[in-house]
Structure 1
Amino acid sequence: MVAAGCLGLMLPIATASGESAGWVTALFTATSAVCITGLVVVDTAAHWSVFGEVLIATLIQIGGLGIMTLATLLTLTVSGRLGLRARLSAQAETKAATMAGLPRVVRDVVVFSLICEAVAAVVLSLRFLIAYGEPPGRAIYLGIFHTISAFNNAGFALWPDNLTRFVTDPWVCLTIAAAVIAGGLGFPVVFELLRSWRRPRYWTMLTRLTVTVTIILLAGGTLVFLAAEWDNPATLGPLDAGGRLLAAFFAAVMPRTAGFNSLDLSQMHHSSWLATDVLMFIGGGSAGTAGGIKVTTVGMLAFIVWAQLRGEPHVNIGHRRLPAATQRQAVALTLLSGGLVAVSTYLLLVLTPYRLDQVLFEAVSAFATVGLSTGITADMPAAGHLLLVALMFAGRVGPLTLGSALALKEHVRRYELPETTMIVG
């Protein structure tokens, strides 16, 4: 899909000027769209024609549906490697689909995505038509494009300032935020919430952990941005109390890997950049359109640390024990992801003239497929753009396939070595 999108965007008909886009620009944009990231090296509305914008939206839609479907199928593949007794127990616990129900799973993913996008598109189209005086055709076009971009956590926008002109508009900001959260929670969690949202005590541990950590991150992120940017004249300062709360909440939702911004990120305090880095690296829920190492991984790591601090022999989450293999998978995924971001940040420091905080923000945004930027993406050299392309691709397919591979790769050892002790810390 990246190769096909690159070739399509290199066509003269794809640009507003009628001239063929450079292959680096086309490759970067296609990768950002298919990997549902949102980083851009050119102004989407000014550089691309209607054909190019439609192609970008199509790549985003295919990328989002593909990731959700692939994540669900890999989840079923992992469960298929379990023994019969374990599979029956897991299915009873999670109400998960069986391997025989794959067509229904794919159908449900597609139907759910299209329904969510249709609802959000209607709201946005009416808002653009009534409140901003857009012609009916243009309003519908804007509503559909930004809904696809929001639900799939892409972050592409058709205005040069992204969504800063709507910073105090709750209809636009909350609709896009709701679409981002719905797409980022993950297909299994959303469907369980739809089935039993009134009975939280019957939720599986995956749903409980995803919902709990998501709420903590959204609330905590909102408070951090309010505290850090309250008096900043270039961000929250000129807004009233309600506008500040809305803008801070929107800023806390977008690092879940959506990439929209209603505030000028380049004018934020560096403390806000660091908070955004953390939120971006964590990302959203599993088997959804969000990137990052996922909220479930962070939740498991928190319980691992808590059990170690209390001296517990096992890691318990609620009334369930977390297997040692799953603990190792969470630690391995986090360390490998952090190492990849660190190496990429170092390379960007070598390749570009920018500061550490700027290139770290860019590297985390690319790896976590977020799309937020401090404004340096377009001015990077071609080598920096190609590094970000590789990082976006690795960040989109890497954590998903690595997590599945770690779960599937299990060797049975018929002997145990004697234990030894090591000094930690």
Structure 2
Amino acid sequence: MPIIQVIGGGLAGTEAAWQIARAGVPVILYEMRPNKISPAHYSEELAELVCSNSFGAMSADRASGLLHEELRRLGSIIIQTADKNSVPAGGALAVDRKSFSHDLTSILTENPLITLKRLEISKIPSEGIIILATGPLTTPSLARDLQKFTGMDYLSFFDAASPIIVRDSIDYDIVFLASRYDKGEAAYLNCPFNKKQYLHFREELCQAKQIKLKGFEEKTAKFFEGCLPIEELAKRGEDTMRYGPLKPVGLFDPRLGNYRDPENTKKRPYGVVQLRQEDKNGSLWNMVGFQTNLHWGEQKRIFRLIPGLERAEFVRMGVMHRNTFINSPQLLEPTLQFKSHSTLLAAGQLVGTEGYTAATAGGWLAGTNAARLALGSNPITVPKMTMMGALFEFISSASPKYFQPMPPNFGIIPELSKKIRNKRERYQQYRDRALENLDQWILAKYQV
């Protein structure tokens, strides 16, 4: 039986390797860390989360939540481990990133069918079944080889990670614990601005010193709209942050009374910075939506202008890095096989999907299909009515000219037979139809 090679030990590569071994096929998983460190990673663990610790909304009537549930039913090791290592985050699936990655590393290294090799791969192997899961930080040498293989230029955009703060350095006389409109468990720490504080904070952000991009990066930088640095949002207008990550709607300090009381409506902050729990013990908190490219000294100075964070202790500053993805509509089948080379597959953000859960889904599909190729079976596609199936149908059939990274969303799923105006009810119908289709497909086509 051939040994499958998976290049990249991120979410997609980890999931792919596990699904291959689960099918009874031996696999070599290549991860270059710690021999070579990327500009965004901090450890040598597999599936390290380099940006947020959140996988998105948990509810299955939300796009990310539906993809979570589909992956649970398909036996995803990433989602299973995320559930095990979850931390309070309101309606989101967030994890203790350290224990999450540590558990996955242990699980894979203990599997006798998985061989983990700490080695940088600079060229696509010429023989065998290969999965490229090198993610948004594909090394320049491998990127050049992939460019030569495809004969195409790369598309790239810039992504950034938020700072993390120590709990004991937060001023709880100012900061309050609450979730928007009191929905779910009160899981976010909220730092309230009045108007004067907010305008001063925005002014300082707009004037702050940023890390200068170098070489071709400066010419080709393109920010992904779903992950804009906070200073870029600040420059777009006085109220842009207040309609984005600093949105105050539905957030009230419970110490000031019941937000439903009409007399208390004026007590709503002008803007709010939210902090989300980063680890199980609640000792670390992530600044939600505060991706940034500011110099570290500027980050400390300006972010300590946020009410309640005047003495904030940062364990990780915000960082920014280049992301790379291929033009999948021209290159890939919905099975994630390259059109020109059926034994070469790709998965993760490299293929132009956006977000942790989408990367996991790509790893599941690429790993499953690689194993099927090794066993002499035909590759599969997931039903288009599911979030997973719709996502990979989209990236393999979108317009190549305007192709951009795509997160899970209900806009890519085929429309319902009956139009439903109420958005919540419509999303629930999408959910029910997707999970019904998936369950039927599992029973009929793919036994897990």
User: Do both proteins adopt the same fold according to a TM-score greater than 0.5, normalized to the shorter chain?
Assistant: no
Relative contact order (C-alpha < 8 Å, sep 6+): which is higher?
2
| TM, length-normalised to structure 1 | 0.26
- Which structure has greater helix proportion? 1
- Which structure has greater strand proportion? 2
| TM, length-normalised to structure 2 | 0.25
